[in-house]
Structure 1
Amino acid sequence: MKTNTYLLRLGEVTLKKRNRNWFINNLVRIIKPRVRHLDAKLEKRHKKLLLYTEAPADEVRKALKTVFGLVGVSPIFKTTRDMEDIKKTALELVKPHFESQKSFSVKAKRTQKTYPVKSPDIQRQVAEYLFEHGLNLKVDLKHSELTLLISVEFKETWLSLETWPCLGGLPVSSKNKFGLLLSGGIDSPVAGNLIQKRGGYLEAVYFHTPPFTVESAKDKVIDLAEILSRYQNGFNLHIVNFTEVMKTIKANCHDSLMVVLSRRFMMRVAERIMTEKGGQALVTGESLGQVASQTIENISIANSVVTMPVLRPLIGMDKTEIISWSRKIDAYETSIRPYEDCCSLFAPEEPATRASARKVQHEESKLDINGLVERALEQTESIRLCLD
């Protein structure tokens, strides 16, 4: 059977109360450009969202695979609320699977409790009808491989046999704007994607140091930004020329504090950019203790130069978990391209793992902090990446 109707399962969004419509409207805004080429229409129901399209099911699934806020998508088949029609539609839907040898179950629910047949009785009557008409599958009520879902709605009944798993989380909203410090590595794209999963809309800031970092390194970061842009509608990447900052620190400051000092400048610049863009927080890919610069002391020193909150969604994850998520979002192969970022190129042999505020401030007193920040901002290029 072919259908033109899909139930978009909302998951966590349905737990919202007074602001539920706000979340659903955000979800609709995210979905619309993704299904426009399918000539699709969306319909809002109470705690439900339906999508109508004549496009092939594979195309629908592909279009929705990067949408946070959905926990599943079910192709549904509609019929009346009459039990005989429900049974006949169930038979038509299940019959192609009679010889599949899969375990089977029927699960029913009623949106309107005044419907005269109770849910367990719907399940029993439909199952009996199917077995009377040739179904010979093993019944497994808890862990069936083939589950017929029946939902008796207010004016019609929906039946489905499959639900495609989706990403969960909350729909991305441009009102929740976060600035991701995006390097060319594995960690920061994963950190950004985890923020997107909680409804955060990203803009990314990348620090480029030509001629020390090659154009291929910048191209890699643009490709990573493009991957993240698939999870939201529109994506701004700000590319900061950071060469003067890095050279100045290298020439004037103690080598062991190179990483901490450069990190503080990155925070200052990123905060300025995101303040102008209406950002609410910065996001980094740091994981506690993963490398020398990511000790709690150094993280605290970096945080101290900004007033904007700094979120670190990877803080308790190990590298194996981070790599697994990177593969999941198809970012890993791009992240491991052999082009180093500015932090790697300028990293000292023995970086300070427990930098003190007094020493860091002493080294920074040798620098024109405001001037370096302003000139870096003046040399920032912004790229807009849009959903195709």
Structure 2
Amino acid sequence: MPCVLLKHGEVFLRGRNRERFEERLRNNLRSALRGIGGSTWIQDARSVTVLGGQVPVEELVERAGKVIGFNSVHPAVRVPSTVDDITSAAVEALAALKAERPGITFAVRARRRDKSFPLTSSRFSAEVGSHIQRALGLPVNLTAPDVELSIEIDRHGSYLSWARHPGQGGLPVGSSGRALALLSGGYDSPVAAYRAMRRGLACDFVHFTGAPYTNASSVYKAYALARELNRYQPAGRLHIIALGRAQKQLAIAGAGKLQVVAQRRLMLRAAGALARDTRAAALVMGDSLGQVASQTLTNMATVDQAAELPVLRPLVGWDKQEIIDEAHRIGTAEISVLPDEDCCNLLAPERVSTRAHVPEVERVERRLEMDELIEELVRSAQCMRPGEEETQDGPAATVSLPAQQEAGRCTAS
């Protein structure tokens, strides 16, 4: 029976809370399978989740590979836990690979989870390897094999896999609470949101536009970025706030070289007010220390002083190339390079203060009706749900099997 083995990551280290983390991980997997177009089943084992169903394995691998919390994804076959069945399946698998790649070397790595199995892990690895050699004439290479055949032996079924795809790792999304990520159109903020997700935060997003003084291009980008990020989590909402008039009020109030810092404080105030409605306990920003003038240590501290919630900066120690490389890996880079009208460039002064202190920024803010301004920004916010159009078929027909239940007996719910 074709299936997929999903190896758990940090969940393995959660101690007495492990069960709660594993349940969150399985729920996120179910969410990732919505709209897949066929029934699926999920089975729990020790530090492993097994996924299968009436869906091509390649599709299962792609969906499961986006779920944060799994360290690796292994396409596999399930066979009865007998010496003969496992050995026959191993020879058949290597014969198919030999037909595609003559002359490959191989190694067998068996792991005996069921201690009642008659052979030890190392002895069974040698037995299977010898049988493959005699049947197919393939050479063994225990150091750097072309194919590594992995055998997981459990009481109610054994799993053979010979391919390994890296997973996302990290903690299951939602296990650490909720956050609201400030999402611009550049490389940094989407990567910061993703890194926050990997630490277990479920993220909603807020995007500030320069409307009515800029066009809608940045909104299209923010929507596309949020949709891409939602592939890694149960879909988060995207809030759009038009900041243009508020930015103009800051400029009229004489912000001058403090304009960028003042409008970032304004963003955090609005995001904090919005977070109360989304049950977010923190804000996430894409700042990298010293990357631009507004991201000096002094300016970050001045911006943070305006926030009611903790401000998380997952990329604070990253350089630009590291951020770009990560953006390519998670699929947001191709969107971030698209042209748009960024609200941060609207009314920006020629020179930005690198040492904006709280008292001088507050002097500018006192010239505005700040509470009313924030209230109006939040009240006029638009809410979108990127990615939901891809799962309109409803939840996938997925059932969870107890470890002792045979996978072949499950039926779609």
Give how far 1:214 is off: 0.4
2:316 matched to which residue of 1? 315
Identity of aligned residues (%): 33
- How many residues align? The count is 385
Structure 1 equivalent of residue 46 of structure 2: 46
> 1:312 offset after TM fit, Å?
0.4
Name the amino acid aligned to 2:202.
Y
In the alignment, what sits opposite 1:117? 119
Q: How does 1:43-82 map to 2 (within 5 A)?
A: 43-82=43-82
Partner Cα distance (2:377, 2:305) in 1: 20
CA contact (8 A) 2:72 2:164 kept: yes
**Alignment RMSD (CA, Å):** 1.7
Which letter maps to 2:10? E
- TM superposition shift of 1:175: 6.5
Question: What pairs with 1:155-304 in structure 2 (closer than 5 Å)?
Answer: 155-173=156-174, 176-304=177-305
| Alignment match of 2:22 (pick from 18, 21, 24) | 24
The residue that corresponds to 1:92 in the other structure is: 92
Note closer, same or farther for the CA distance 1:174–1:148 as it changes in structure 2 (3 Å cut). Answer: closer
Q: Map of 1:142-157 to 2, 5 A cutoff? A: 142-157=143-158
Displacement after TM superposition at 1:174 (Å): 7.4
- Which of 7, 10, 13 is matched with 1:12 structurally? 10
State the 1:279 CA deviation. 0.7
Match of 1:107 among 109, 114, 125: 109
Question: Deviation per CA, 1:66-117, whole angstroms, max 9, x where unpaired?
Answer: 2111122223223333323322221112112335322311111111334331
- Identify unmatched segments of 5+ residues in structure 2: 391-413
**Aligned mates of 1:54, 1:165 — CA distance in 2:** 23
Q: Which amino acid aligns with 2:182?
A: L
Which piece of structure 1 moves more, 349-358 or 28-37? 28-37
After TM superposition, the structure 1 stretch with the greater mean CA deviation from structure 2, 47-56 or 352-361, is 47-56
Deviates more, 1:56-65 or 1:247-256: 56-65
Distance 1:329 1:160 in 2: 25
Partner amino acid, structure 2, of 1:255: G
Q: Tell me which residue corresponds to 2:340.
A: 339
Kindly provide the amino acid, as one letter, of the partner of residue 106 in structure 1.
V
Instruction: Provide TM-score, normalisation by structure 1.
Output: 0.94
1:165 shift after superposition? 2.0
CA distance in 1, matches of 2:7, 2:102: 27
**For residues 114 and 65 of structure 2, what CA distance do their matches in structure 1 show?**
31
Pick which of 210-219 and 27-36 moved more: 27-36
User: What does the per-residue CA deviation read over 1:305-331, in whole Å, with 9 as the maximum and x for residues that have no partner?
Assistant: 123110001111111111111111221
Residue 202 of structure 1: how far off its partner (Å): 0.7
| SS of corresponding position for 1:173 | coil
| CA gap 1:349/1:25 in 2 versus in 1, 3 angstroms | same
CA contact (8 A) 1:244 1:372 kept: no
1:198 Cα shift? 1.6
Deviation at residue 140 of structure 1 after TM alignment: 2.3
Quick check: 1:4–1:54 contact (8 Å CA) kept in 2? Answer: no
Q: CA deviation at 1:17?
A: 1.9
Q: CA deviation digits over 1:17-48, x for unaligned, max 9?
A: 22222222222222224334231111222322
- 8 Å CA contact 1:233, 1:386 repeated in 2: no
Which moved further from structure 2: 219-228 or 46-55? Answer: 46-55
Q: Could you tell me whether the CA contact under 8 Å between 1:191 and 1:284 is conserved in 2?
A: yes
Once the two structures are TM-superposed, the CA of residue 284 in structure 1 deviates from its matched residue by 0.3
Decide whether the 8 Å contact of 2:106 with 2:138 is kept in 1.
no
- Counterpart of 2:45, as a letter, is R
Give per-residue Cα distances to partners, 1:186-243, cap 9 Å, x unaligned: 1111111111122211111111222321012221211111111211122211111212
Give the TM-score normalised by the residue count of structure 2.
Answer: 0.89
Corresponding residue SS for 2:213: coil
TM superposition shift of 1:295: 0.1
Structure 1 CA distance for aligned equivalents of residues 206 and 78 of structure 2? 48
Contact 1:176 1:199 in 2 (8 A): yes
**1:144-178 C-alpha deviation (Å, 9 max, x unpaired):** 22011112212332222122222111221277111
Contact (CA 8 Å) 1:253, 1:366: kept in 2 or not?
no
Are the counterparts in 1 of residues 190 and 229 from structure 2 also a CA contact under 8 Å?
yes
Cα displacement (A) at 1:12? 1.8
Amino acid at match of 2:106: F
Aligned residue for 1:133, secondary structure, equals helix
CA distance in 1 between partners of 2:62 and 2:207 (Å): 29
Deviation at 1:342, TM superposition (A): 1.1
Partner SS, residue 169 of structure 1: coil
Q: 1:333 to 1:79 in 2, by over 3 A?
A: closer
Amino acid at match of 1:68: I
**Contact conserved, 1:184 with 1:340, CA < 8 A, in 2?**
no
Describe the SS at the equivalent of 2:204.
strand
SS of alignment partner, residue 170 of structure 1: coil
Choose between structure 1 and 2 for higher RCO, CA contacts under 8 A separated by at least 6 residues.
2
